[in-house]
A and B are shown apart, each in its own frame.
Chain A
Amino acid sequence: MSETVTQTKSFGERILEQPGPALVWVLGLLILGALEMGAIAEVTVAIVSALASAFASLGTAVLGGPVLPSISGSIAGGLESAATVAAGLPDLVSRSVIPNQGYQTPDGVWHGTFLGLEPKYAWLLRVALVYGYMFVFLWWLWRGYRTYVANYRTADWTPRDDMVRRLRSHSWGKFGMVVVICFVGMAMFAPTVSPSTGDQNMYNMNAHDIQYFDEETGSVEEISVLQANFQSASQGSGSQNVGLWQYDEFNRFHPFGTLTSPGQDLFTFMAYGARISLLVGVVAISIALVLAAGLGMITAYYKGLADLTVVFVSDTIQSLPSLLVLMLASMVFSHHWLGKIYNGGLLLAVMFGIVYFPNMWRSIRGPALQVAEEEWVDAAKSYGQRSSTTMRKHMLPYILGYLLIYGSMSIGGVIIGTAGLTFLGFGINPPVPEWGRAISMGQAYVTTPAWHISLLPGLLIVVVVTGFNALGDGIRDAMDPESEGEDTSAGVGATGGGA
């Protein structure tokens, strides 16, 4: 969509005319990108190799035999070498720059950590660096938008400007945005922000060894992570507890303490748990949004039978208690291949999407019906435009804002629901970490010194869900100033503790 009506210059011409600000911005972006070159390359290679293996297995399945072993073999080899190259590239925000795992000899010197710092400070420095980098990067993107508005946009004003201005002055919404960014950052950079890695801490505890200084033998000993974890587990009694901000006897630092047997690091567990929470939440909400938007436009456009069918289906779904249906589904599919993908994560996301869509569809139906009555839709129709194009081009932009609001407000419910199901033992299966499982592990220890196991994940859920709800509030108020503080228009959009 070009906003140029009076001027005919294209975006490229406008940049050529005044290249200064754009160059500065691109240069900044390149510098920021170069700092993270390794990570970007690694992620790209990972995605490409995942796609390649998927295609290879698909090819094998379709062609009914190992037809292309040599080709896929050479591709795999190439990818492997690419991965090693990628790992060698500089990467500011990675564990290897500021290692925090080491051991302390009796003279008080730390070995193996960054600059000989205490693991605590090394870890803090790394977390600060990650978040600093992330916020600088986002700020730079924001600056890019400002640069575009100031220098290259032909229109002096668009309605979006007002929205941005309202969102900027909405402190509650900004609070939500910061919380959401921190949560997403925690999930994205989970291997970097956590004191231990997921592989070491959860999936392959036996395959990793750590070094520590043994006071009895007076030398540096090696021990497998599994053994070390067993000995540093939080069991509730005074001697067997690694609480908040403490070191265990193997000189490992645990910002949030350890879990019960085997005593994994709680912060690592939660950082990786944020990944799956976010993934399930985003996938579920995307499914629900796509269903709701598609059906909403179809029902508003065609009305009649289509409308009736969707009403029937959504009524059926809504009449069932969602949590129980989810429990039933994850139980029934627990040994099915669908329930095995990402240890039940995909199944859960799909189910949540299906369960959540009727509500969203109902919320979108009103605006969609309204826009379907507009003259421009009528005009497009009489112009002979295909109905799918009409819906996409003339109806979708109008409901997009509502989708954003409901999406942000419902994701909290999905996060809580996932945690609840995992708490019950359905949902996400071990070893994939999920916050609900941490809560259930610590259930018996709430009033003991190991209170952190249950309390912290729960508090984090409260903060994250509040953040998403606040962001949704902010977006709603920004899009529609008349709804300021009016909850009834959002209906049951915001979801909460009921799971």
Chain B
Amino acid sequence: MSAVFLILRAGPLDPVAAILGQKQDPVMAHQIRLQLGIIRPDGSPVPLWEQYLEFMHGLITLNFGQSWVISRGTPVMDLIVARAPVTIWLGFWSVMIALLIGIPLGFYAGLNPNTSSDYLASFGGIVWRAMPNFWLAIILSSVLVSSQFFTESLFGVALSWREWLWDTGVIGGPPLDNLADPEQLFAAIKWIMPAAIVLGSSSMGNEMRIGRTAVLETINSNYVETARAKGLSGRIIVWKHVFRNALIPLVPIISGEAFLLVGGSVLVELVFGINGLGKLTFDAINSADLTMAGGILFIFAVFLQVMNIIQDFLYTLIDPRIGYEQS
């Protein structure tokens, strides 16, 4: 975070110019500098280390100050809290998509190695992983927006994604205030699904590949052979011996998804027009709203650290051999 502070405050960017825009009124500029805490009331500049201490104090107490440009005067924390739910919803479903599709496919490929479906899954995973997700987002959103034309020309039935099952939009984020109502819940899930698929795509490919090799490795291990010799049924072997052990190398991939999600949410939210944290980050950086950008970066960094801790917990949960004392 100190690095972020340095970039923000000591870098060659002038926030006052960003706020004032074209017209440079010296009186206004003075007021703004005063408000930002860059200068003292008598006009002398505040030394950098004092700014730094104040900045760090603000971070620890979750008080990031006020937004400079995007929405002047609103505390950064309020904006983050207002925008966060959609992003959390998106992130949650993209993780679920990756888990529910990537891992089963990978395990299936690993259990049936060197069959044509294995090759299809592996190849698909490799190519899927190499796709830039902003590009995938553009293609998917455009296709879905005019889905009735595509389905009509391909299958002869005009099927609009917008109206299919639940009436939702393609672009934009779903309203999340009434999730207790099943109708609303499913509509919200459907609404977020395209963005979640795109966001989860790269980690899905990773999980598939690693799931496949992990299963292959455990299947060829001695204890699986022992279990087979003991006369256990294939189903029990797979669920009790293979599945659990194959999950271990997947743990860092799953928690590593957090990194992909944070970066990817900016691109995906921008393309899908979802008004979440990613969009807020983009706006903040684009309009040089430095308190805003610093605050969001801090929140993201904390989130990533929490994910790392969760990863360690998951390890101990899945693999009892990894004790907490040893690490």
Contact = CB atoms under 8 A, between A and B. Distances in A.
Interface of B: 3-4, 7-8, 11-13, 126-136, 138-139, 142-143, 145-146, 149, 201-203, 205-206, 209-210, 213-214, 216-217, 249, 252-253, 256, 259-260, 262-264, 266-267, 270-271, 281-282, 285-286, 288, 293, 296-297, 300-301, 304-305
Interface string A450-488: 000011011001110110011000000000000001111
Given A319-B301, A324-B281, 13 more contacts: A321-B300, A324-B285, A327-B266, A332-B7, A447-B146, A457-B135, A466-B130, A469-B130, A486-B213, A494-B129, A496-B131, A498-B202, A498-B263
A459 to B, nearest CB: 9
B192 to A, nearest CB: 18
**What are the 7 A-B residue pairs with the smallest beta carbon separation, nearest first?**
A498-B260, A323-B263, A446-B142, A497-B202, A458-B135, A496-B129, A465-B130
A319 B285 contact: no
Given A322-B263, A486-B213, A498-B202, A454 B138 contact: yes
B263 A328 contact: no
Main SS class of interface, A: helix
Interface in A320-335: 320-325, 327-329, 331-333, 335
Interface stretch (A252-260, A379-387, A412-420): A412-420
A239 interface: no
Contacts of A455: 139
A462 B203 CA distance: 15
A331 B300 contact: no
B221 to A, nearest CB: 14
B149 to A, nearest CB: 7
A173 B165 CA distance: 45
B138 A446 contact: yes
B119 to A, nearest CB: 11
A424 B216 CA distance: 40
Nearest to A313: B3
A462 B293 CA distance: 31
Contact of A335 (B12, B210, B213, B262): B12
A424 B270 contact: yes
Interface residues of A, number: 51
B46 to A, nearest CB: 20
Interface in A69-119: none
A425 B126 contact: no
A480 to B, nearest CB: 15
A499 B201 CA distance: 12
B12 A336 contact: yes
A469 B252 CA distance: 20
B139 A454 contact: yes
Contact of A499 (B133, B253, B285, B293): B133
Interface of A: 316, 319-325, 327-329, 331-333, 335-336, 412, 416, 419-420, 423-426, 436, 439, 442-443, 446-447, 454-455, 457-458, 461-463, 465-466, 469-470, 485-488, 492, 494, 496-499
Contacts of B286: 331, 425
A166 to B, nearest CB: 19
A199 to B, nearest CB: 28
B143 A446 contact: yes
A174 to B, nearest CB: 15
B101 to A, nearest CB: 15
A332 B287 CA distance: 11
Contacts of B146: 447
Contacts of B203: 498
Contacts of B143: 446-447
A485 B119 CA distance: 13
A416 B271 CA distance: 16
Contacts of A436: 132, 134
Contacts of A321: 259, 262-263, 297, 300-301, 304
A406 to B, nearest CB: 16
